[in-house]
Homo-oligomer: A and B are copies of this chain.
Amino acid sequence: MALVVQKFGGTSVADPERIKTVASHVARTKREGNEVVVVVSAMGRTTDDLIRLAAEIGPVRPGRELDMLLTAGERISMALLCMALGHLDIPSISLTGSQAGIITDSTHGKAKILEVKADRIHEAMSGHKVAVVAGFQGVSEAHDVTTLGRGGSDTTAVALAAALHAGSCEIYTDVPGVFSADPQIVPAAKRISRLSFEEMLEIAASGGRVLALRSVEFARNHGVPLEVRSSFTWEPGTIVDKENPEMEQAIVSAVTNDASEAKVTVTGVPDRPGIAASLFRALADRSVNVDMIVQNTSREGTTDISFTVPKDDLEESLEITMSLAPVIKASAVCSDSDIARVSLIGAGMKTNPGVSATMFEVLAREGINIEMISTSSIRLSCVVKAADMERAVQTLHNEFGLG
């Protein structure tokens, strides 16, 4: 008997009808002879509604109280799902993060899972009950309710699958898997049937919104195979698993895009050890999440450093960088929020030289200027003007035959 962890996101449980549909699917999986542990998010826009209520109270939102507020959401969806399972004669029990033994640190709002003490889940399974676990939440060692932050429910599902040695971890969402490009930009984009953890990490990190980076990291570290599927069509989705050395890798699996960042450039910095360190330490100290960093070789003893940050952090980043400019003797600081990142991802890239050359040629042929370049062994990213983003994605998707 295989143990399956099934995670249903907010759109999958958005209303009572959807919850009943999810219950039927869980019941079917169970009747096919599997053991099932379910992880649910809050219904649809519940979390946003709760945050709006908090905003009406005012700007002070202590993390502990915000977590207390937000964790109301999953209680509702999981209790309703258990009721729906009851109608299908599937015995079940809802468990809060705390009851499911999701022990975290005390960083409210983005707690890290320290340990999973799954006693009550094991107890539910020995009683032939489906455990329906609240995603996104845990409990600190000080017995305070915590939340895991963005993508938290995916992380709960993966952590449980790892702790329970589940055969598979199915992540149900409103799209049927991971696509070779955003279908809204590239109508010919195709569902990818299989990805390595590394490819999925690069996709998540470079603009793919299907799975949160963090849950993929967790899955990779614990060797938990994932399947991303749709709870609307129930068709087979995208499997994310260890790289299979016997299979030939696709050179390019996907083209991703991300217009959520802005670029900061510091020019004329003396090319001396410690300059970059002092700049990025100052940014890190203020919790600015720097993404790409590019530094060119120096010319006449000075160099330019460019980096990207989330648009929300741009103002603060500029403030920090400008106040530091005289100290590091930079000649100027400028920024551009009208940019986008376009990336090619593929595990086969590392053994296929020439992908970067093709990418740059294609962009050049389209008259698209490249502002920054950054690479990993399985990813190639170019920063371009935001207005060029869609055209870049479409052309690259076509050029690499992903449709």
Q: What is the interface of chain A, defined by CB distance below 8 A to chain B?
A: 15-17, 19-20, 50, 53-54, 56-62, 64-66, 68-69, 71-73, 75-76, 78-80, 82-84, 86-87, 93-94, 96, 99, 120, 143, 145
Contacts and interface: CB of A to CB of B under 8 A. Distances in A.
Contacts of A54: 79-80, 83
B58 A83 contact: yes
Most chain B C-beta atoms within 10 Å of own C-beta, residue among A68, A84, A94, A145: A68
A20 B84 contact: no
A84 B58 contact: yes
Given A16-B53, A60-B87, A69-B80, 7 more contacts: A54-B79, A57-B80, A58-B83, A69-B76, A72-B79, A96-B145, A120-B143
Contact of A68 (B61, B79, B84): B79
A57 B93 CA distance: 16
16 contacts: A16-B53, A54-B79, A60-B86, A61-B83, A61-B86, A62-B83, A64-B94, A68-B78, A68-B82, A68-B94, A69-B75, A69-B80, A71-B75, A72-B73, A72-B79, A120-B143
Contacts of A17: 56
Contacts of A96: 68, 145
Contact of A93 (B50, B60, B64, B66): B64
A15 B57 CA distance: 9
A143 B94 CA distance: 12
A86 B53 CA distance: 15
Given A65-B94, A94-B65, A99-B143, A57 B83 contact: yes
B76 A62 contact: no
A84 B137 CA distance: 23
Q: This chain: how many copies in the complex? A: 2
A57 B16 contact: yes
A66 B78 CA distance: 10
Contact of A75 (B19, B68, B82): B68
Contact of A82 (B59, B62, B73): B62
A372 B30 CA distance: 58
A325 B74 CA distance: 50
B79 A20 contact: no
B65 A83 contact: yes
A16 B68 CA distance: 16
Contacts of A59: 87
A62 B91 CA distance: 10
Given A62-B83, A99-B143, A53 B69 contact: no
Nearest to A132: B65
